[in-house]
Amino acid sequence: MMAKKNLLLTVSAGLVYLFLYLPLVIVVVFSFNDSKLNAEWVGFTWKWYGKLLYNQEMLTAAMNSLIIASVSAGIATILGTLAGIAMHQYRLRLLQMLVLAPIAMPEILMGVSLLVLFIMVNMTLGLISIMLAHITFCIGFVALAVQARISSLDPALIEAARDLGATPWQCFREVTLPLLMPGILAGALMAFTLSIDDFVITFFTAGVGSSTLPLQIYSMVKIAVTPEVNAVSTLLMLVTLVVITVASRLSPAIFRGE
């Protein structure tokens, strides 16, 4: 009876994972297929990855993505950390809502409203506008990661630092910041992956010549899903996977939803 139940559970879990990951597996597999068509397996090859290196548009897009992700994640980490600390210290409902709303907001809404804003203030769409947009939606994730870390800390540690002679600033630098570091790093890595993968908001806030990797893939797919697209998607997947794994090691709490 017990074994039967376990079997059922295993099978259903397997089906769910299959449903989630089969499309990704297909992309990875066909990125190594020695054929221009995504139809049947012909043979193994690295050539599509090699071709990527000579695709100037793709390289520019990848560079843009890296710059945008690094800068946005960096700035969002600083702002998000401060927001996370403030959320913990002041426990204001409104503050919490304002910081976290962009996480729950439909991306299309964020995209459209940011576009309207940028046009209103007469801002040229380009790398800067994309970065500003990415910072906006990344702050909430960093704040969440930092807040999760703070609430797991013993508040007596901060008081102990003051008690032992540390000024508020020394206390922050010597005790609070080092103890929050795992949460901050996890938040930064999450922000990085969110930024590098984003399509919808980037689509609305990008200008001519500021294409990112997801936008580039999209424009290529409009013609056909070439093996080259599969290859670049596989690489993007790999980067995301590595970063998320590192982040989850640093701050298990937020990935357990605590």
Partner 1 sequence: MVWVFTGRENGALLEIVNVSRHFDTFVALDKVSLHIEAGEFFTLLGPSGCGKTTLLRLIAGFDQPDGGDILLDGKSIIAVPPEDRPLHTIFQNYALFPHMTVAENIAFPLRMARVAKQDIRTRVAEALEDVRLPDKGNQYPDALSGGQKQRIAIARALVNRPRLLLLDEPLSALDAKLREQMQIELIDLQKDIGITFIYVTHDQGEALALSHRIAVMDHGRIIQVDEPSRLYGYPGSRFVADFIGKCNLLDGKVSEQQGSRVTVELDGLGSVYVSGLETQFAVGSRCALTLRPEKIRISRSSAIPGASDTLSSPADPSPLSSFDGESHFPGYVHDMLYLGDVTVYNVTLANGVLLETLLANSASGRTNFFEIGDQVEVAWSCDAGHLVLD
- Per CB under 8 A, residues contacting partner 1 are 154, 156-157, 159-167, 170, 174-175, 178-179
CB 197 within 8 A of CB 240: yes
Min separation Cβ 157 and partner 1, Å? 5
DSSP 8-state class, residue 1: -
**What is d(CA 191, CA 135) in angstroms, rounded to the nearest whole number?**
8
Residue 51 CB, nearest approach to partner 1 (Å): 48
**Residue closer to partner 1, measured from CB, 140 or 183:** 183
Place of tokens 């897009």: 61
Q: Given the complex with partner 1, which of 50 and 155 has the nearer CB atom?
A: 155
The DSSP 8-state label assigned to residue 173 in this structure reads: I
Minimum CB separation from partner 1 for residue 161, in Å?
8
Classify 210 as helix, strand or coil: coil
- Looking up tokens 């997947």 gives 237
CB 46, CB 31: distance < 8 Å: no
In whole angstroms, the minimum distance from the beta carbon of 77 to partner 1 comes to 19
| C-beta closer to partner 1: residue 24 or 160 | 160
Given the complex with partner 1, which of 19 and 169 has the nearer CB atom? 169
Structure tokens at 45: 């090859």
